[in-house]
Amino acid sequence: VEVQGLDGKLIYSANTRTAAQLWKNPIEGFYRWRVTALVQDRNVGESEWRKVSIFQGKPLALKEPTVDQNIYFWDKPQEFQFVWIEDGLAKDKGYSYQLEVASDAEFKTNLVNAKTIESKLSSESLKLNLGPQFWRARVLDRQGQTIKASDPRKFNYNIHPLLKAPSNLTPAPGTV
């Protein structure tokens, strides 16, 4: 088992013959980890890197936009708020938040990256694309390292779909 910081620096490493490993006294932070298969001390395979964050308290929870929410407008883009539950680490330790909006749930194509000390951010200050998007919030320490992150949430920001034309109303035969 190998654990690295986001900067690629080795934080923890251990060899074991079991399917589980205990990392005693880990330090709060955001890490990546993988498992390496060894045969006679020779590397014969590695798992993909996986992300893990260690922190005190509850995970960061998103409020608005809600899951799969449609945010439509007619002519001028409608202002709305990205809102998440205030986190104790940000409040007590003076950490900040980062709002990310991407076109994919893995955030490989980030469209928006905005930092704030508030647990909300107006869409008006962001240049959002039209269409389905994903958003998440992170808590950043004073060095800009991610301490914890919310799960991604999908929303749709778009021009209102065309409405159907009203049907013709005609009187019933024989009415006056």
pLDDT at 92: 76
pLDDT at 82: 98
- Cα separation, 154 vs 101, in Å, equals 10
- Cα separation, 110 vs 101, in Å, equals 6
pLDDT at 73: 94
* In contact, 53 and 148? CB cutoff 8 Å: yes
Mean pLDDT by groups of 10 residues along the chain of 176 residues: 87 81 81 86 86 79 96 91 90 88 92 94 93 94 85 95 80 78
Residue 176: both structure tokens together: 């006056």
Whole-prediction pTM value? 0.69
pLDDT at 94: 81
Residue 126: both structure tokens together: 């962001």
Beta bridge partners of 121: 82
